Amino acid sequence: MKLGFCSLASGSSGNCYLIKSDNTNLLLDVGISCKAIKNGLGELGITLSDIDGIFITHDHIDHIKGIKTLLKNTRCPLYASHGTLEALVKKVSPLPYERLTETSSGQEIDAGDIRVTPFDLSHDTDEPITFSFEKDDAKICVVTDTGYVSDAIFNNIKDADILALESNHERNILLYGSYPYPLKLRILSDTGHLSNEACAHCLTEVLRYRRIRKRISDDNGAMKVFLAHLSKENNTPEQALITVRNALEEEGFIVGKDLELEVLDRDRRSGFHTV
């Protein structure tokens, strides 16, 4: 195993992901309780003391809920952007300031034997970022909580072996649902969330890129894609899969051949996937 990936939770009510190598264990976002994180890791034979780094994308509660208790039970550094750290200091007190490490887009971090690279998202909070995780020639990316896929996002995810990509809502379900109109506009905006349709469009462009690359390099590895951060009210796992799969097949990309495709559960641990 070069790298491994597991989602402990992925949804609008809580997000937490494990990225690991044989020697390093990293958490991306901690939007569930410390107890839930401990239990999920325990099922994989990992303890809180085994965590070598915590990476935070932004300060919304579904990404930081467990942070205070988790920091009390670990000794590892926490990485986030300047804007996110400032928000955390205001929202969570006290924090171990000596363990807070500021990072920014493009600033590579060596976390154990994993190289971590931050890149920008487009979300309605101060300086949101996410991260790619690399070891040797293996790469994992997680992209949620962004209103659109920028060139920077595309360039970071196009060669990922494992990609967790936001598929938050079905556009028509949201539009005709019960949410207040201002909230609908927020979700649909360029600083909101990716829809199933936007997720499918992004994956189509990624697969087009990879198809061209295969013709050049004869690299026949199919990427593993996980639909992430689904809304409880405006989506279902079945709907996300149908919308994304149909859009991909219309462009000639077949699930099971050109990519592996699964939906991450909102509040249960996924399987452990390796590359």
Q: Which H/E stretch holds residue 237?
A: helix 237-250
Question: Can the peptide bond before residue 94 be classed as cis, meaning omega within 30 degrees of 0?
Answer: yes
Q: What is the DSSP letter of 221?
A: P
Q: Which two tokens stand for residue 252?
A: 């000639």
Beta strands 162-166 and 138-143, pairing class: parallel
In contact, 229 and 166? CB cutoff 8 Å: yes
Q: How far apart are CA 190 and CA 193, in angstroms?
A: 8
Neighbouring C-alpha atoms within 13 Å toward the C-beta of 95: 20
pLDDT digits (tens, 9 = 90+) for 148-181: 999 999 999 999 999 999 999 999 999 999 999 9
pTM exceeds 0.75 for this model: yes
Q: Give the DSSP per-residue string, 10-29.
A: EETTEEEEEEE-SS-EEEEE
Q: Taking the mean position of all CA atoms in its chain, how far away is CA 4? A: 14
Q: What is the pLDDT along the chain (275 residues), one digit of tens a residue?
A: 899 999 999 998 999 999 999 999 999 999 999 999 999 999 999 999 999 999 999 999 999 999 999 999 999 999 999 999 999 999 998 889 999 999 999 999 999 999 999 999 999 999 999 999 999 999 999 999 999 999 999 999 999 999 999 999 999 999 999 999 999 999 999 999 999 999 999 999 999 999 998 776 656 578 999 999 999 999 999 999 999 999 999 999 999 999 999 999 999 999 999 99
**Fold of the domain built from segment(s) 4-268:** Metallo-beta-lactamase; Chain A (3.60.15)
Distance from C-alpha of 115 to C-alpha of 218, rounded to nearest angstrom: 26
Burial 31-61 (b: 16+ CB within 10 A, else e): bbbbebbbebbeeeebebeebbbbbbbbbbe
Contact 156, 209 (CB under 8 A): no
